[in-house]
Amino acid sequence: MFAVGTLGLTLMAVFPTLSLIVPFPRGGERFSELWILGPNHMVEDYTFNVRVGERHQVFVGVGNHMGSSSYYVLYVKLRNQTQPLPNATESTPSPLPPLYEFRAFVVDGETWEAPLTFTLSEVSRLDDSCFVSRMSINDVFFSVDSPSTWDSENNGFYYQLFLELWLYNVTSHGFQYHNRFVGIWLNVTIS
């Protein structure tokens, strides 16, 4: 009995040091976080009414709780009200092409964050239609070619700027959609 007690006390004393060297399996759910914060790093004050030529900034971030270091890609996409979002039930990404991407290697338990600035540079309007043809993301210009129709219920031409989270799969040696996306709505005005 004395030997068992001594062994138990020894293990309790050594475990904190040993846990720094030997990885022990962690319990709990493994997941990744994805977010968009407003210009003041808060979940508020998001850009909503957007005019041509105005520069807007948000912050995007990823938190890693996967149990090991992970390599992520965040794809930035723009859609109108009728274009598809990712399908959470089927774990499939939106078929819309990405406009911009962020890549981040994040250690388990850590977070990564970066600014995302965007400007609509070419927008036209004809009757009840709005057409965004060009925008910049982090000072890189993209052809968008996205129409939107007037939403009479909400009084605006609505677009959604959204991000999809993709995770590198070491087995397949490629990135896979990680079933996470987040976005902000924009009411595009012309002035």
In a domain, 2, yes or no: no
Tens of pLDDT, residue by residue over 110-164, are: 999 999 999 999 999 998 999 999 999 999 999 999 999 999 999 999 999 999 9
In a domain, 22, yes or no: no
Q: How far apart are alpha carbons 84 and 156 in whole angstroms?
A: 19
Q: Residue 52 is part of which domain span?
A: 31-189
**Residue 150 identity:** W
* pTM for the structure as a whole: 0.83
Tens of pLDDT, residue by residue over 10-23, are: 545 544 444 444 45
In a domain, 7, yes or no: no
Express the helix, strand and coil content of the chain in percent, nearest 5 each.
Answer: 10, 55, 35
Tens of pLDDT, residue by residue over 33-63, are: 999 999 999 989 999 999 999 999 999 999 9
Return the closest-CA partner of residue 186 out of 144, 164, 166, 156: 156
Q: Are 94 and 138 in contact (CB under 8 A)?
A: no
How many domains in the chain? Answer: 1
In a domain, 125, yes or no: yes
Q: How far apart are alpha carbons 148 and 129 in whole angstroms?
A: 6
Average confidence score pLDDT of the chain: 89
CATH number for position 41: 2.60.40.3880
In a domain, 16, yes or no: no
Cβ neighbours of residue 124 closer than 8 Å, sequence gap 6 or more: 130, 131, 133, 190
In a domain, 38, yes or no: yes
Determine the average pLDDT of the residues in 66-93: 96
In a domain, 3, yes or no: no
In a domain, 133, yes or no: yes
